[in-house]
Amino acid sequence: MLIHNKIFNSGVVGAGGAGFPAHIKANSKVEFVLANGAECEPLIHKDYELMLHFSKEICQGLELLIESTSAKKGFFGIKEKNAKVISAISKHLNGKTELTKLGDFYPSGDEYELVYEATKRLIPPAGIPLDIGCVVNNVETLYNIALAEEETPVTRKFICVAGSVRKPSSFFVPVGTSFKDVIEFAGGSKISEFGIFVGGVMMGHLTFDLNEVVTKTTAGIIVLPKDHYLIKRKNQPEQNWHRIGKSACDQCSYCTEFCPRYLLGYQVEPHKVMRSLGFTKTGASVWNQMAELCCSCGLCTLYACPEDLYPKEACDKAKVEMREAGIKFIQQKPVKVHPIKEGRRVPLPQLIMKLKLQDYDVEAPFNSEKLFVNKVRIPLQQHIGKPAKPIVKKGEVVEEGQMIGKVPDGELGANIHASISGKVKEVTAESISIES
Ligand code: SF4
Ligand code: SF4
């Protein structure tokens, strides 16, 4: 069976981002395949640990992709500071792949940044790496591709649990495990009143719900006290973001000056989007359109703005309004890297200080112990595309690894497999629950 079919059957999706089904990339023809080991979200170290302990499998996955896409070359993006990982990965790279050593900046893991660093090619505005002959895969996706070659489906997720927990660590968990079980496995929370950043403090979401579950795209969870600066910042009601922004934005444009997409040459100008809060609606103005190419990295809100305003959230809102109004922004000028780009990059340690996270900035070593859970709730939508269609019924006994949700015929999506053996307790439009 061809590898892209095995990847499809195994339900592999992008493990480091929005969950794009990996078989599509494996079934394309490109010049370059890029492995993304840049990992730049503060406190999350799961890719570091995975690369250190599973370098062979990751490099196998990369080779399989290079072969299936007929690429002439691979690039492996890793931060230069991670010497141990560079050494582990280098042992398994064949002559076709070159290491791309990256600085310790945020957001060096952004696809647009990585592709530029490795190939010096710029993705067209609103485009994807495929448009310039590249595919990019997170290192965990490559690991899952190596398992798919052996026809092992994705049933476990490698995550990092950090912040205010007794044992910050990285480990595998069955997909569908609750945050409660995950935090307990990391020694439990050190505090009783806390919030959880899912996927990172910069690009993830904040929740207080311990019943939320790990999916195929959960990179990590960060536990912080409820009165931490970041929780107070993020937990403001949405109307406040925009109300305060309207009255307090002095148009200093720092948000734009630090924006990584702007510095790469894309027309992203959050300070102009902030004007939209005060003066215009979507259609009449071009200001909202300055948000279209924003990657939601969060730097403008959490690092650049001296007034603690919410330009990233204003961009998110602008994008929704534009979509609803059917407006598509087309960049008018050629993409050209800003001459000051290198001088404006944000060092990760500086970002960590700004976010008041320095007390939590510790290693999260790999814990190889197996986490046993007796119930999971597996969402049917863990990826880009259509939700999987359940193919099991309540009361049915399933084995770990058995397919329980299928991509609807002819649609983009990913299959879902049981992550533990047991009995199907519930099937809803959103998820399948299994208890052992
Ligand atoms: S940095 Fe803050 S105050 Fe300055 S333009 Fe941007 S949102 Fe307004
Ligand atoms: S979140 Fe802000 S800094 Fe990041 S890309 Fe969007 S506008 Fe630029």
* C-alpha 219 – ligand 1 centre gap (Å): 30
Residue 388 and residue 74: Cα distance in Å, rounded?
Answer: 32
Point out which residues pair with 135 in neighbouring strands: 33
**pLDDT value, residue 284:** 43
The candidate with the shortest Cα–Cα distance to 118, out of 30, 218, 19, 18, is 30
In 3D space, the residue among 137, 95, 93, 141 whose CA is nearest the CA of residue 115 turns out to be: 137
265 CA from centroid of ligand 1 (Å): 20
- Ligand 1 centroid to residue 179 C-alpha, Å: 35
Output the six-digit token pair for 114: 């990585």
Ligand nearest to the CA of 271: 1
| Residue 53 pLDDT grade (very low, low, confident, very high; cuts 50, 70, 90) | very high
Residues 244, 247, 251: CA angle, nearest 5 degrees = 105
Ligand number nearest CA of 274 is 1
Quick: pLDDT tens for 10-22: 999 999 778 999 9
Say what the pLDDT of residue 280 is: 57
Task: Say what the pTM is.
Answer: 0.96
For 360-391, the pLDDT digits (tens) are 999 999 999 999 999 999 999 999 999 999 99
What mean pLDDT is reported for the chain? 94
Q: Is the pLDDT of residue 285 over 70?
A: no
- Look at residue 281 and tell me whether its pLDDT is greater than 60: no
Give the residues surrounding ligand 2 with Cβ less than 6 Å away: 259-261, 268, 270, 294-300, 311-312, 315
pLDDT by residue (tens digit) across 68-104?
Answer: 999 999 999 999 999 999 999 999 998 899 999 999 9
Ligand nearest to the CA of 346: 2
Judge if the beta carbon of residue 315 lies within 6 A of ligand 1. Answer: no
Segment (H or E) for 35 = strand 32-37
